[in-house]
Amino acid sequence: MKKLSVVMILIVLLSFSGWFTFDYVSQAGSFTKTSHSSMHDPTVFDQGKEMYLAYDVIWEGIGSPELKGIEVRQKGLTMEKEAADFHVEVLINPSMTMGLLDADLFYELGMDQSLLEVDGFQVEGPFQIILRVKGADVREEFDVTELAVTYEKFGVDLIEYIDMDEGVLDLE
C-alpha cells in the first residue's frame, strides 16, 4: 500500500513539473523591433503611390514560432483595412534588405520577389515586417501605434504587441 502511495505521489509530481515546464517553455520569448521607419512627407500619397516601410524584428526565446497573423492597431483598436482611405497591408521580408521605399523603386529593385505572406511564416532568424501603406486621406489620427503579432509555438497560440514608437506617419 505504501509503495502504491509513493508511486502515485511521484506520478502526480512528475506530471505537474512536466506541465509547468511545458507551459514556461511554450510562453517564454518575445519579438523585439530593432529598427523603425516613418513617413515625413505626406505629399507622396497625393498621386496614390504606395510606400513600403520595413521594421527589423528578432525573436528572442526558446523555439521557432510560426506566425499566424499581424494585426495593425491604432491606439489599442484594430484598424479597419479600408479606414478613411488609409490602407495598410502587412507582409514579411525574410532577407532583411529593405528600408523605406516608394512603389516605383520597390518594383525596380525586384523587392517584391522576396516578400511573403504572414500566415505560416516560420521564424528562424531576424526578419522584417513590411507595411505597404497607401492613402489619400493621410492624417496622424489614422496612424499605426502597435502591431499585434499572433503566433504559434509548440502548439500554443500566443499574441504579442509590438509598439510602433513614432508610428508610420511622423508629420510634425
User: How would residue 10 be classed by pLDDT, with cut points 50, 70 and 90?
Assistant: confident
More confident residue, 64 or 15: 64
pTM for this structure? 0.78
Domains and their CATH numbers in the chain: 31-163 (2.60.40)
More confident residue, 162 or 42: 162
Torsion angle of the four alpha carbons 79, 30, 23, 94, in this order, in degrees rounded to the nearest 10: 80
77-131 pLDDT tens trace: 566 655 556 778 899 999 877 777 877 888 888 888 888 999 999 999 899 999 8
The total number of residues shown for the chain amounts to: 172
Spell out where the chain has E strands: 30-33, 50-60, 66-74, 77-78, 86-93, 100-102, 127-135, 146-153, 156-163
Which of 46-50, 133-137, 167-171 bottoms out in mean pLDDT, i.e. has the lowest?
167-171
